[in-house]
Structure 1
Amino acid sequence: MSQHAIDVSIADFDDKVLAASRRVPVIVDFWAPWCQPCRILKPILEKLAAEYSGKFILAKINSDENQALAMRYGVRGIPAVKAFVGGELVDEFTGALPEAQIREFLDRLIPSPAEPLRREALSLAAAGNLVAARQKMAEAIDLDPRNDTAYLDFIQLSLDLGTPEALSEASELLAAVADRVRDQDRAAALKARIEMAQTASGVDLAALATRLERDANDHEARLQLANALALRQDYRGALEHLLEIVRRDRKWNDEAGRKGMLKLFTLLSAQPQYDDLVREFRIALARTLN
């Protein structure tokens, strides 16, 4: 048995689980000698405890001998695995999951070694140093290639930088990781932003505005202007132009106005500060179409 896997009872639960979880995640395995799935799960958990080498503690509790603990934590079937962090139950699963799924469960709980670098990169970005921020975020990814958040942060920083090279790198990286990251909403929002950036690359706002002054039905100019405004995070301006396309000719270019608004809604849905704006234009779009 690994030194990171211990037997726990009700007598030492508070010390070995609750108190210990304030220092490192503690994974509690409720099992019983007669339980066949427990025999399947137990060696997997012990193997991972040894492999992760102190990044979490495995606490094994015989539920038959510690029924009060099992009742306290709502154990209705075994094996029942419960994760404690900071003295609190934060996640759980029941049954003998495959090793790959258990690794995913653990990785959600265990702080990434790249987290200090990721936070440093975000601080650099907040100070306006996007080049250094991207470099620092790349270091975080190199240190922990499984850190999904760092990949998405790097893509966002690349879009914020706005150079053609950064945009190309963001697009290629998102295509590589989009299917595997857990935060699919954020990945979808970044994809929408990349598509708008690609459409708006090299756009002359003044020239587009002049075209619209000459012909308010120049929908191509209006669409390019909307994408350019969205790229500059003027989302209200972008939505107003897209809605105007819908009002003037909803069928134009395979409903490009409506589809552009939906793409922006996807982009903004991952950012709660824009909830009111999205709601306002969803209503406006519905009224225009009906």
Structure 2
Amino acid sequence: MENNEYIFEVLTETFQSDVVNRSQELPVVLLCWATQIQASVDTKHILERLAAQFQGKFALALMDVAKDPRMAQQLQIQGLPSIRVIVDGGIAGQLEGPQQEDSLRQLIEQFTMSTGERLQESLESVLAARDWDQALMMIEASLNQEPNNPKYLAEQADVLICKGDYTNAQRVLDAMPEDGTEKQRPQNRLELVQEVAGIRPLDELEHQLQIKPEDLEAVYEVALHHAMDFRYEQSLDKLLLILQRDRTFRDDIARTTMIRVMSLMPRDSQIAQNYRREMFSLMH
């Protein structure tokens, strides 16, 4: 068994204190298993690994029914492995039979994700569809519960900017703490919007680059247009081209703008990670 305080064996005598009572504080995943059933052993190993990864967001109670079948009988366990999620003293979810890691992870995430994480997950598809009104409704519903949550406020400001409501976006940003890290993404987006307002139209820039492809100012302005049109990869590609040609262009603005554009992308974006590595290699 993993050396983890959130992983423990449970017996019928300790079920009330270790599972029911503890589930008032955090979700408890109960695994009924036996060493004689290889599929249940495999499930045990997966859950132990997930418990380490989730770092205390849930407890894993292991009940070896071969050693103590009494509680399994009370829970009407029909086969192994059998999984129950106990929340606030009651069974909130369950899975029967062998499971893949993805299925187990999805089950656990239902009960361990924070409100902010749930909002972010729900927002992803809405934002991908650029349904700004629906996104704002979802964010405002969360803000009704936690009106000072900086993550929700940052999402609200960012969506307002995407929608073109810059006045209300600035109002939200002004109300946020100056030193908050959540403020950076919408602030960067608003700065880019203001910068794009003063540059040439995209078709004019593309015509200019056909005539003079070495015009780095035109390349830079095209990158800004791409960023504002959510074409982040194309934007980063143009900015990286400037870095490759002239690192000193406009006091290294290509590098700093790459950082701003990457801040607009999902934190786990593989595209952003790739460009960050390429930028780093050029700098060193």
Report sequence identity in percent: 20
- Number of residues paired by the alignment? 194
Relative distance call for 1:20 and 1:148 in structure 2 (3 A) is: farther
Does residue 237 of the first structure (1) align with residue 238 of the second (2)? no
1:67-121 deviation digits (Å, cap 9, x = unpaired): xxxxxxxxxxxxxxxx975436xxxxxxxxxxxxxxxxxxxx9965x99888766
**Are the counterparts in 2 of residues 223 and 242 from structure 1 also a CA contact under 8 Å?**
yes
Q: Identify the residue that residue 106 of structure 1 maps to in structure 2.
A: none
How far the C-alpha of 1:134 sits from its partner, in A, is 0.9
- More displaced 10-residue stretch of structure 1: 148-157 or 205-214: 148-157
Q: Identify the residue that residue 150 of structure 2 maps to in structure 1.
A: 148
TM-score between both structures, scaled by the size of structure 1: 0.51
- Cα distance in 2, alignment partners of residues 225 and 231 from structure 1: 10
Q: Identify the residue that residue 216 of structure 2 maps to in structure 1.
A: 219
Q: Identify the residue that residue 37 of structure 1 maps to in structure 2.
A: none
- Cα distance in 2, alignment partners of residues 270 and 139 from structure 1: 24
Relative distance call for 1:246 and 1:126 in structure 2 (3 A) is: closer
Relative distance call for 1:244 and 1:217 in structure 2 (3 A) is: same
How far the C-alpha of 1:145 sits from its partner, in A, is 1.0
Amino acid at match of 2:131: N
- Cα distance in 2, alignment partners of residues 245 and 84 from structure 1: 46
User: Aligned with 1:145: secondary structure?
Assistant: coil
Q: Identify the residue that residue 20 of structure 1 maps to in structure 2.
A: 21
- Counterparts of residues 186-205 of structure 1 (less than 5 Å): 187-201=183-197, 204-205=201-202
Amino acid at match of 1:278: R
- More displaced 10-residue stretch of structure 1: 220-229 or 252-261: 252-261
- Cα distance in 2, alignment partners of residues 116 and 252 from structure 1: 42
- Cα distance in 2, alignment partners of residues 225 and 145 from structure 1: 38
Q: Identify the residue that residue 280 of structure 1 maps to in structure 2.
A: 278
- More displaced 10-residue stretch of structure 1: 224-233 or 213-222: 213-222
**Are the counterparts in 1 of residues 157 and 186 from structure 2 also a CA contact under 8 Å?**
yes
Does residue 170 of the first structure (1) align with residue 169 of the second (2)? yes
Relative distance call for 1:208 and 1:20 in structure 2 (3 A) is: farther
Structure 2 runs not aligned, ≥5 long:
1-12, 28-54, 61-111
- Counterparts of residues 249-288 of structure 1 (less than 5 Å): 249-268=246-265, 270-274=267-271, 275-283=273-281, 285-286=282-283
How far the C-alpha of 1:252 sits from its partner, in A, is 3.0
- Cα distance in 1, alignment partners of residues 117 and 260 from structure 2: 31
How far the C-alpha of 1:269 sits from its partner, in A, is 7.7
